[in-house]
Amino acid sequence: MSTQPLYTPPGERETRRDRLHHTIAFAVSIFLTILSFGAIVYAIEQGASVGFVVAFIVGLAVVQSAFQAYIWMHLKDEGHTMPQLFFYIGVFVTAVTVVGVVLMSWWH
Amino acid sequence: MGLTTETGRIGAAVRAAGRIESAAHDKAPSIELATQEGRNKLIGVWLFIAAESVLFASFFAVYLALRHSTMSGPTTKELFELPLVFAATALLLTSSFTSVMAVLNMRQLKAGPMKMWLALTGLLGLAFLLLEIYEFNHYVHMKHTFVSSAFGTSFYSLVGFHGAHVTFGLLWLFALLVRNARRGVTPYIAPKVYAFSLYWHFVDLVWVFIFTVVYLMGKVA
Count of CB atoms situated within 10 Å of the CB of B166: 20
Closest to B132 (Cα-Cα) out of B154, B163, B172: B163
- Alpha carbon separation from A8 to B27, B157, B194 (Å, rounded): 8, 44, 16
Q: Report the distance separating Cα A98 and Cα B194, nearest Å.
A: 30
Q: Report the distance separating Cα B162 and Cα B128, nearest Å.
A: 11
Total of domains in chain B: 1
Largest CA distance in chain A: 70
Res. B1: pLDDT tops 80:
no
In A, minimum Cα distance to B69 occurs at A105
Of B53, B107, B202, which has the smallest distance from its Cβ to A94's Cβ?
B53
B19 inside domain: no
DSSP B73: S
In a mutational test of the A interface, the residue from B154, B216, B217 whose CB has the highest number of chain A CBs within 10 Å is: B216
Q: Collect all residues of chain B within an 8 Å Cβ-Cβ radius of residue A9.
A: 31, 107-109
Domain that holds residue B137: 32-220
Q: Report the distance separating Cα B221 and Cα B219, nearest Å.
A: 6
B198 or B3, which is more confident: B198
For the stretch B106-147, pLDDT in tens is 999 999 999 999 999 999 999 999 999 999 999 999 999 999
B12 inside domain: no
CA B86 remoteness from chain centre: 19
Cβ–Cβ gap B27/A94 under 8 Å: no
Cβ–Cβ gap A97/B61 under 8 Å: yes
Q: Collect all residues of chain B within an 8 Å Cβ-Cβ radius of residue A8.
A: 27-30
For the stretch B48-106, pLDDT in tens is 999 999 999 999 999 999 999 999 999 999 999 999 999 999 999 999 999 999 999 99
% residues pLDDT > 90 (chain B): 86
Q: Collect all residues of chain A within an 8 Å Cβ-Cβ radius of residue B42.
A: 83
Res. B218: pLDDT tops 80:
yes
CB-based contacts of A97-103 (< 8 A; 24+ apart in sequence)? A97/B54, A97/B57, A97/B58, A97/B60, A97/B61, A98/B57, A98/B60, A98/B61, A98/B64, A100/B61, A101/B61, A101/B62, A101/B64, A101/B65, A102/B61, A102/B64, A102/B65
Closest to B165 (Cα-Cα) out of B39, B52, B8, B78: B52
B119 inside domain: yes
Measured between CB atoms, does A93 come within 8 Å of chain B?
Answer: yes
Which value does ipTM take for this structure?
0.91
**Can you give the pLDDT at residue B189?**
95
B2 inside domain: no
Of A57, A72, A94, which has the smallest distance from its Cβ to B212's Cβ?
A57
Of A73, A95, A102, which has the smallest distance from its Cβ to B201's Cβ?
A73
Residue B108 contacts residue A10 (beta carbons within 8 Å)? yes
**Can you give the pLDDT at residue B22?**
44
B25 inside domain: no
Res. A27: pLDDT tops 90:
yes
User: Hey, where are the domains in chain A?
Assistant: 1-77, 78-108
Q: Collect all residues of chain A within an 8 Å Cβ-Cβ radius of residue B108.
A: 9-10, 15
B7 inside domain: no
Crossing angle of helices A50-67 and B190-210, rounded to 10°: 180
B178 CB burial (10 A radius; 0-12, 13-18, 19+): exposed
A/B interface, count of CB pairs below 8 Å: 150
Largest CA distance in chain B: 98
CA A23 remoteness from chain centre: 15
Residue B59 contacts residue B158 (beta carbons within 8 Å)? yes
Output the pTM of the full model.
0.89
Measured between CB atoms, does B95 come within 8 Å of chain A?
Answer: no
Q: Phi/psi at A5 (nearest 5 deg)?
A: -70, 155
B167 inside domain: yes
The CATH number of the domain where B182 resides is what?
A: 1.20.120.80
A77 or B116, which is more confident: B116
